[in-house]
């Protein structure tokens, strides 16, 4: 059986220290709940002494999150340790995380202490923390720039003092992967009691090597990796949780290790952190960027259509995505173009496909991004005439306001017969759509809906685009009216008509 790598998530501590990423208590709790679903082993909930708000956030997480260990950061000083314990003492699995700098530059210029004073302070702090909490982690801040002999000594003594976990941070992202391997190898060979504890690493990304250094550490005995969602953190950020986890998951043949992470929650957690911190995920970000499973080049698209493994080393579903994305642009091929038309509910014959593909290429030369609505506009003249109006809107009425439940009555015509029903919704548009669903008997999933103005002025026409999904296929409808509710109603009916026109029979109301 593969050995387990412990995932220590510090999004709520080191990640939140990123300028502009401040979170309130409820936002922290929401992220912590998502991390619990993700099944991280340790959540570093914050630095309680830093502010009353941080204390409240850590305490709230400690009370409400039960499966992971909840860690609180503390300097190697008495007041910090007491404050950290007060914040996490109600946690099911609490941990106090002690740190002190051990590099010559930090000890001399920041702490203004001798190595002996730092050693004594570290031992005192670990012993004190151990008196409160059975689980204590010690971090030698700036370990990657520390003198090896002093690092060996302070690790040895803090283990004797009661530390369960020893963390070796590359605090400023300075070390190179091969050097990091040498450092960890030296610790294992020169710290006689290192086998009594879990060895951890915490890498920063100043030179873009945080993930590489973290993965390198596994070869040399590190069994806990400290990381953040989306790699957020001080300066250039931390090692990215999703990249580390998926590297171990995808290359089990190389690492022979595993994690407890429920990978299907990676993408939703990434988006939650991005939304709450207001930090956008770069498009080309590994694993969770919008382009991570997107293909535009025709050669790549042709390969992916035959077998996704030709260009994808991971399945998008593994991280919580529905599937990959074939991006249409000037490099796209005919196969990808035809597939997208089918997904939108259109299946033209070869003659129409050739004509549409030529028009698409002309548009792609002028327009960088080709969206579904661009395709709908492109093919509307050619294909919309082929879609039968199985249902026709005859009447709708909506009652709505800021203090009443929106209610819609809709009347449709089908094969000369009138059908009418009413429904409620959270808003007027949902009420209309629900009423149409009741009439048609359809159970479809609304996957996209938006309104845009097609002319100027107060009397501008509104164009509504509705996208629905049924049995794995997508159908789009468009409606135009100076009344946006009417445009939305027409668009929804168009989408349903398009769906029905593709089926062998038009079941629904009889």
Look up the CATH number of the domain holding residue 141. 3.20.20.70
Q: Are residues 457 and 310 in the same domain?
A: no
Look up the CATH number of the domain holding residue 428. 3.30.160.270
Q: How confident is the model at residue 316 (pLDDT cuts 50, 70, 90)?
A: confident
**What does the mean pLDDT of the chain come to?**
88
**Interval 120-155: pLDDT, tens:** 999 999 999 999 999 999 999 999 999 999 999 999
Q: Are residues 69 and 10 in the same domain?
A: yes
Is residue 286 one of the residues assigned to a domain? no
pLDDT at 215: 98
**Interval 410-442: pLDDT, tens:** 999 999 999 999 999 999 999 999 999 999 998
Across the range 439-449, mean pLDDT stands at 90
Is residue 288 one of the residues assigned to a domain? no
Is residue 508 one of the residues assigned to a domain? no
Q: How confident is the model at residue 324 (pLDDT cuts 50, 70, 90)?
A: low
Residues 6+ apart with CB under 8 A from 244: 7, 211, 214, 215, 225, 227
Q: Do 190 and 152 contact (CB within 8 A), yes or no?
A: yes
* Last residue within a domain, chosen from 353, 386, 419: 386
Check pLDDT > 60 for residue 352.
yes
Is residue 146 one of the residues assigned to a domain? yes
Across the range 240-251, mean pLDDT stands at 96
Report residue 195 as tokens.
């086998």
Check pLDDT > 50 for residue 504.
no
Check pLDDT > 60 for residue 454.
no
* Last residue within a domain, chosen from 386, 416, 440: 386
* Last residue within a domain, chosen from 340, 366, 386: 386
Q: Are residues 439 and 476 in the same domain?
A: yes
Q: Are residues 51 and 32 in the same domain?
A: yes
Could you list the beta-strand ranges (E) of 349-403: 392-401
Strand partners, 166: 138, 199
Q: How confident is the model at residue 506 (pLDDT cuts 50, 70, 90)?
A: very low
Is residue 123 one of the residues assigned to a domain? yes
For residues 44-55, one letter each, b for 16 or more C-beta atoms within 10 angstroms of the residue's C-beta and e for the rest, the string is: bbbbbbbeeebb
Is residue 509 one of the residues assigned to a domain? no
Q: Provide the CA 483 distance to its chain's centre, in angstroms.
A: 37
Q: Are residues 31 and 74 in the same domain?
A: yes
Q: Do 47 and 32 contact (CB within 8 A), yes or no?
A: no
Q: Are residues 381 and 396 in the same domain?
A: no
Could you list the beta-strand ranges (E) of 284-402: 294-295, 325-326, 392-401
Q: Which of 58-62, 430-434, 504-508 bottoms out in mean pLDDT, i.e. has the lowest?
A: 504-508
Share of the chain above pLDDT 90, in %: 62
Q: Do 122 and 76 contact (CB within 8 A), yes or no?
A: yes
Check pLDDT > 60 for residue 396.
yes
**Alpha-carbon distance values, 456 to 453, 459, 465 (Å):** 7, 7, 18
Q: Are residues 49 and 167 in the same domain?
A: yes
Range of the domain at 347: 294-386
Q: Do 31 and 248 contact (CB within 8 A), yes or no?
A: no
How many domains are there within the chain?
A: 3
Share of the chain above pLDDT 70, in %: 86
Q: Which of 34-43, 138-147, 175-184, 480-489 bottoms out in mean pLDDT, i.e. has the lowest?
A: 480-489
Q: Are residues 51 and 141 in the same domain?
A: yes
Q: Are residues 103 and 172 in the same domain?
A: yes
Is residue 340 one of the residues assigned to a domain? yes
Check pLDDT > 70 for residue 323.
no
Is residue 194 one of the residues assigned to a domain? yes
Check pLDDT > 60 for residue 183.
yes
Report residue 444 as tokens.
């479809």
SS3 content of the chain, % helix, strand, coil (to 5): 45, 20, 30
**Interval 200-228: pLDDT, tens:** 999 999 999 999 999 999 999 999 999 99
Positive or negative: CA dihedral 370, 372, 374, 380: positive
For tokens 């661009």, the residue is 374
Q: Are residues 257 and 307 in the same domain?
A: no
Across the range 315-334, mean pLDDT stands at 71
Q: Are residues 261 and 124 in the same domain?
A: yes
Across the range 274-279, mean pLDDT stands at 85
Please give the Cα distance from 208 to 282 (Å, whole number).
Answer: 15
pLDDT at 342: 77
Q: How confident is the model at residue 336 (pLDDT cuts 50, 70, 90)?
A: confident
Q: Are residues 490 and 371 in the same domain?
A: no
Between 449 and 300, residue with greater pLDDT:
449
């Amino acid at each position: 059986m593969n050995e387990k790598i412990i995932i220590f998530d510090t999004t709520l501590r080191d990640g939140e220290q990123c300028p502009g990423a401040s979170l309130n208590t409820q936002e922290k709790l929401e992220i912590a709940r998502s991390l619990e679903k993700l099944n991280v082993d340790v959540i570093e909930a914050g630095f309680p002494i830093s502010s009353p708000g941080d204390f409240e956030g850590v305490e709230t997480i400690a009370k409400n999150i039960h499966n992971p260990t909840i860690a609180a950061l503390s300097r190697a000083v008495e007041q910090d340790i007491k404050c950290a314990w007060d914040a996490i003492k109600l946690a099911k699995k609490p941990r106090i995380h002690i740190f002190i700098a051990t590099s010559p530059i930090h000890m001399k210029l920041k702490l203004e202490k001798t190595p002996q004073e730092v050693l004594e302070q570290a031992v005192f702090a670990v012993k004190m923390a151990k008196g409160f909490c059975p689980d204590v982690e010690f971090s030698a801040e700036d370990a990657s720039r520390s003198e090896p002999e002093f690092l060996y000594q302070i690790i040895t003594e803090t283990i004797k003092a009661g530390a369960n976990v020893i963390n070796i941070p590359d605090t400023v992202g300075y070390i190179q992967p091969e050097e990091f391997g040498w450092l960890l190898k030296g610790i294992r060979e020169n710290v006689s009691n290192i086998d009594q504890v879990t060895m951890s690493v915490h890498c920063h990304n100043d030179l873009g090597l945080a993930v590489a250094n973290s993965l390198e550490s596994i070869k040399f005995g590190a069994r806990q990796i400290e990381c953040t969602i989306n790699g957020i953190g001080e300066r250039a950020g931390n090692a990215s949780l999703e990249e580390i986890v998926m590297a171990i998951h995808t290359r089990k043949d190389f690492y022979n290790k595993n994690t407890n992470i429920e990978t299907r929650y990676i993408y939703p957690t990434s988006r939650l952190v991005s939304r709450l911190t207001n930090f956008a995920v770069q498009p080309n970000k590994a694993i969770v960027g919008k382009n991570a499973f997107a293909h535009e080049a025709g050669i790549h698209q042709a390969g992916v259509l035959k077998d996704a493994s030709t260009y994808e080393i991971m399945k998008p579903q593994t991280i919580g995505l529905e599937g990959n994305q074939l991006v249409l642009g000037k490099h796209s091929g005919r196969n990808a173009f035809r597939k997208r038309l089918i997904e939108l509910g259109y299946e033209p014959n070869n003659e129409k496909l050739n004509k549409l593909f030529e028009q698409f290429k002309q548009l792609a030369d002028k327009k960088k991004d080709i969206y579904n609505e661009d395709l709908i506009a492109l093919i509307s003249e050619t294909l919309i005439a082929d879609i039968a109006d199985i249902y026709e809107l005859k009447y709708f009425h909506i009652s709505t306001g800021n203090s009443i439940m929106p209610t819609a009555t809709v009347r449709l015509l089908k094969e000369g017969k009138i059908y009418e029903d009413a429904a409620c919704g959270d808003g007027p548009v949902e009420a209309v759509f629900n009423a149409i669903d009741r009439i048609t008997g359809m159970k479809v999933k609304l996957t996209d809906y938006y309104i845009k103005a097609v002319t100027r002025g107060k009397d501008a026409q509104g164009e509504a685009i509705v996208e629905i999904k049924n049995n794995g296929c997508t159908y789009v409808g468009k409606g135009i009216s100076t009344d946006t509710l009417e445009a939305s109603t027409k668009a929804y009916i168009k989408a349903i008509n398009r769906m029905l026109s593709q089926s062998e029979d038009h079941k629904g109301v009889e």
